[in-house]
Structure 1
Amino acid sequence: MSVTAKICGLSTPETLDAAIRHGASHVGIVFFPPSPRHVDRDRAAGLAARVPGHVGIVGVFVDPDDALIDASIAAGSLDVLQLHKVSPDRAAILRRRTGLKVWAAMAIKTSADLAAARSFVGAADRIVYDAKTPEGSALPGGMGVRFDWTLLDGHRHPLPWALSGGLDPDNVAAAARRTGAPLVDVSSGVESAPGVKDVDRIARFLQAVRQIS
């Protein structure tokens, strides 16, 4: 069982370098001002310049307009757009207009939420199953909330997919084995405080991923 990992919400050279050094397949840069992980374009450009070609750069957006997408792609040298709170039609438009891969984030709480992933066939390249945050939350993810992984039992995934929501160094191996996730995505689970990534936790998370079999 080969599992890859994305470390999301990176904002400093030290933590970005740790993610790359310990084997992350993707690094995530958040372009959403309400998030404590948001970075401006200048910082995004500085981070992107440190990323080697074999590591994918994922820009994370929440219902973005075209201007934000275009400016962020230019600043962050993005390979992937991870889109939260967008419709399949909007995802398809951005995928076609930018020529980049699109990951559609799905907020999951019930099996009905999982079923909605089918609507992104032809509009996205990957589904990111994330936990639905509490009603009224300002953020669509990155809050350490997990969903019931048993919902994935027997689920026929319509697209390549990733598991997100509530993962950390201590549970990622069990989560990946339980669900069969080919890609795991972590943000708050490798932080010492909201938006503050921890180099040691990043290392532990990626070590746990490498040991999954």
Structure 2
Amino acid sequence: MTTRAKICGITTPDALEAAISGGADYIGLVFFPKSPRHLAIAQAKALAAQARGKAQIVALTVDANDATLQEIVDEVAPDILQLHGREVPERVALIKKQFGRAIIKAIPVASADDAASAQGFTGAADLILFDAKAPPGSALPGGNGMTFDWRALEGVAGAHPFMLSGGLGPDNVAEAIALTQPMAVDVSSGVESAPGIKDPSLIHRFLLAIKTAKQT
């Protein structure tokens, strides 16, 4: 199995080109005003047009209402909606049905019990994203550059197709893949020179590390 790669929080054409030329399978566009990677609809629409047909376009939202989701779907036309808030399984299922998009549901993990909560989203989400739980008081549910103990996934990893996130970068992604065998890995801050500023050289290093990682 070849592990797929997602570069999240793309904000510029140069970063997007680095992701695509390096072989990223997914590119993530963030719609969350508190994030340094937040995009206006017009920005996101232009980046989506650049990526379309070359990588899967993922729109990341955090507890977005239906009107916001509808605008994103209508204007940006993402392939996938990533729900990174406190959405419950019923809400996830409703979004999937209403907007006709594949769904990635983020699960914040600090313990095995947190990881086990993914079971509640079986059938509602197409893919689970296990991310490090944000520190208390953080304004951001993800993109904080924090890892978690990957052993927390031992009891659930085989039960769900999943994407691994949280503190990944060029220097640790191969180890993460070897230990957890995810379907895909996701990076944001780990390929940045500053919050929200993607470094094309780090993007290429990250993608190369995935290609050379030990995979089953």
Give the TM-score, by structure 1 length. 0.97
User: Which residue is 2:78 aligned to?
Assistant: 78
Deviations 1:88-133 (A, max 9, x none): 1110000000110001100000111011101001111010000001
- Find the counterpart in structure 2 of residue 46 from structure 1: 46
Q: Does 1:98 align with 2:99?
A: yes
Q: Take 2:93 and 2:158, find their aligned partners in 1: how far apart are those partners? A: 19
Give the residue type in structure 2 aligned to 1:13. P
Q: For residues 65 and 193 of structure 1, what CA distance do their matches in structure 2 show?
A: 30
Q: Counterparts in 2 of 1:59-208, with a 5 A limit?
A: 59-84=59-84, 85-208=86-209
Q: Closer, same or farther in 2 for the Cα pair 1:148/1:74, shift >3 Å?
A: same
The Cα of 1:73 is off from its aligned counterpart by: 1.5
Residue 23 of structure 1: aligned partner: 23
Aligned residues: CA RMSD? 1.0
195-204 or 147-156, larger mean C-alpha shift: 147-156
Q: Distance in 1 between matches of 2:67 and 2:59?
A: 14
CA deviation digits over 1:40-80, x for unaligned, max 9?
A: 00000110110141410000010000111111122222000
Q: Quick one: structure 1 residues 154 and 116, their matched pair in 2 at CA, closer, same or farther if it must change by over 3 Å?
A: closer
Structure 1: distance between partners of 2:88 and 2:8: 22
Question: How many percent of aligned residue pairs carry the same amino acid?
Answer: 48
What stretches of structure 1 move > 6 A for 4+ residues in a row? Answer: none
Structure 1 residues not aligned, in runs of 5+ = none
Q: Secondary structure at the match of 1:10?
A: coil
Alpha-carbon distance in structure 1 between the residues aligned to 2:157 and 2:181: 12
The code of the aligned residue for 1:11 comes to T
C-alpha distance in 2, partners of 1:9/1:75?
18
Shift of residue 198, structure 1, vs aligned partner: 0.5
State the distance in 2 between where 1:17 and 1:156 align. Answer: 32
User: What SS class does the counterpart of residue 136 from structure 1 fall into?
Assistant: coil
Amino acid at match of 1:83: L
Cα distance between partner residues in 2 of 1:87 and 1:167: 26
2:193 and 2:186 map into 1 onto residues whose CA distance is 17
Amino acid at match of 2:162: W
Equivalent position SS for 1:49: helix
Q: Using the alignment, how far apart are the partners of 1:113 and 1:44 within structure 2?
A: 32
